[in-house]
């Protein structure tokens, strides 16, 4: 029997992000949302994924619920395989051991360049100032495939980022290698609260791959300040499953600090 389910845009974004992670791989996890995505993935789909955190926790099996705001706390480092520090953590990505990186962003451009530093104005006199790179630059520079998790809002999908904090494909094909970044690395997927994007092999531009079931391509594209390429066969993404929602709401974030957001519905 079809029924209507309710969820938030954030819950959808987290759930579809979790489905992208491959078992048996390594993933360098950024602050906040990426942590929750990795927790959900590990809980439901990929028990043998090894998470790495920039403060030097390797392969933790984090204690739930997620403690909001923390990354280096004891819950998040529980039952790690190894405890080190930051210079060593980045050594694992710098030598090619990290299959995936997962990062949030303030803004992203058609080449997957990430801004997490400031919005508007200039660097010296910004309109709004944010935390900056943290370890995001190192993750985006060195992991083989970077996944960006970002709310689907027009002001976040911009033709040119206000500040290039963490490198995507810079200004096009070959630009990363020319700049001195490691060969064969770069953004792989952009997970949003409405859709999933990849990057075109030839042009390295962001390409719409699939949309949340029930949404049209136009509904997705109108909420972006640039027009992405469209994959020849745009797929549909199922809404969050009962299991995904249960684990998110009951085990990972019962206080709904992370998962709250705009209400959405879908027929399942």
Partner 1 sequence: MTIDRIRTEGEVEYRFTHPDDFREHVRDRKGRSPVPKLVTAKDAVAAFVADGDYIVYDFSSLTRGPQSLIREVIRQRKKDLWIGAEFTLHESPLLVGAGCATRIDVGFLGYGNYIGQAVCDGRVKAYEWTNGGLALRILAGARGVPFLPTRDLLGTDNMKVSAATTITDPYTGDPICLVPALNPDVAFLHVHQADVFGNARIFGTNLFALEAALASFRVIVSAEEIVETDEFRKDPMRTTVPYFLVDAVVHAPFGAYPGAMPARYEIDLEHVDRLNAIRNDEQMGNYIEENIYSVADHDEFLDRRVGAKRMRELRRRATIVEGYR
Q: Does 50 bind partner 1 (CB under 8 A)?
A: no
**Residue 141 in contact with partner 1, rule: CB under 8 A:** yes
Query: Is there binding between residue 134 and partner 1 (CB under 8 A)?
Result: yes
Task: Confirm or reject binding of residue 155 to partner 1 (CB under 8 A).
Answer: no
Dihedral pair phi/psi, residue 87, rounded to 5°: -60, -35
Active-site position among 6, 11, 22, 54: 54
Give the Cα separation of 110 and 171 in Å (integer).
9
**Closer of 48 and 82 to partner 1 (Cβ):** 82
Rounded Cα distance, 66 and 248, in Å:
10
How far out from the chain centre does Cα 232 lie?
Answer: 24
Contact status: 174 vs partner 1 (CB under 8 A) = no
Instruction: Choose the binding region for partner 1 from 132-140, 195-203, 216-224, 244-252 (rule: CB under 8 A).
Output: 132-140
In the complex with partner 1, the residue whose CB is nearer, 160 or 227, is 160
Stretch that binds partner 1, among 4-12, 16-24, 169-177, 242-250 (CB under 8 A): 169-177
Contact between residue 109 and residue 63 where contact means Cβ atoms under 8 Å apart: no
Is residue 230 a contact point for partner 1 (CB under 8 A)?
Answer: no
Residue span binding partner 1 (CB under 8 A) among the ranges 98-106, 144-152, 171-179, 229-237: 171-179
3-class secondary structure per residue, 95-146: CCCCCEEEEECCEECCCCCEECCEEEECCCCEEEECCCCCCHHHHHHHCCEE
With tokens 């797929």, the residue in question is 235
**Contact residue for partner 1 among 2, 87, 201, 202 (CB under 8 A):** 87
250 is catalytic: no
Is omega for the bond preceding 65 within 30 degrees of 0, making it cis?
A: yes
Question: Which tokens go with 157?
Answer: 């999908």
Q: Which residues lie near partner 1 (CB under 8 A)?
A: 53-57, 63, 67-75, 77-80, 83-87, 90, 94, 117, 121, 123, 125-138, 141-142, 163-167, 170, 175-176, 178-182
């Amino acid at each position: 029997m079809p029924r209507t389910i309710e969820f938030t845009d954030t819950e959808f974004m987290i759930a579809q992000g979790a489905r992208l992670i491959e078992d048996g791989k390594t993933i360098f996890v950024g602050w906040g949302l990426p942590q929750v995505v990795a927790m959900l993935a590990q809980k439901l789909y990929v028990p043998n994924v090894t998470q790495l955190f920039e403060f030097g926790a390797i392969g933790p099996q984090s204690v739930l619920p997620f403690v909001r705001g923390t990354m280096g706390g004891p819950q998040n480092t529980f039952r790690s395989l190894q405890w080190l520090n930051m210079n060593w953590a980045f050594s694992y990505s710098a030598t090619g051991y990290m299959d995936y990186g997962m990062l949030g962003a303030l803004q992203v451009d058609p080449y997957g360049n990430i801004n997490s530093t400031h919005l508007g104005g200039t660097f010296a006199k910004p309109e709004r100032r944010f935390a900056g790179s943290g370890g995001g630059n190192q993750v985006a520079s060195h992991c083989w495939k970077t996944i960006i998790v970002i709310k689907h809002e027009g002001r976040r999908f911009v033709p040119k980022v206000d500040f290039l904090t963490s490198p995507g494909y810079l200004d096009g094909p070959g630009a990363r290698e020319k700049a001195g970044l490691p060969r064969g690395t770069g953004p792989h997927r952009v997970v949003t609260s409405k859709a999933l994007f990849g990057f075109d092999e030839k042009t390295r531009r962001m390409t719409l791959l699939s949309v949340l079931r029930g949404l049209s391509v136009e509904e997705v594209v109108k909420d972006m300040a640039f027009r992405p390429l469209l994959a020849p066969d745009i797929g549909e993404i199922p809404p969050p499953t009962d299991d995904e929602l249960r684990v998110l709401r009951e085990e990972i974030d019962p206080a709904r600090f992370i998962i709250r957001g705009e209400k959405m519905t879908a027929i399942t």
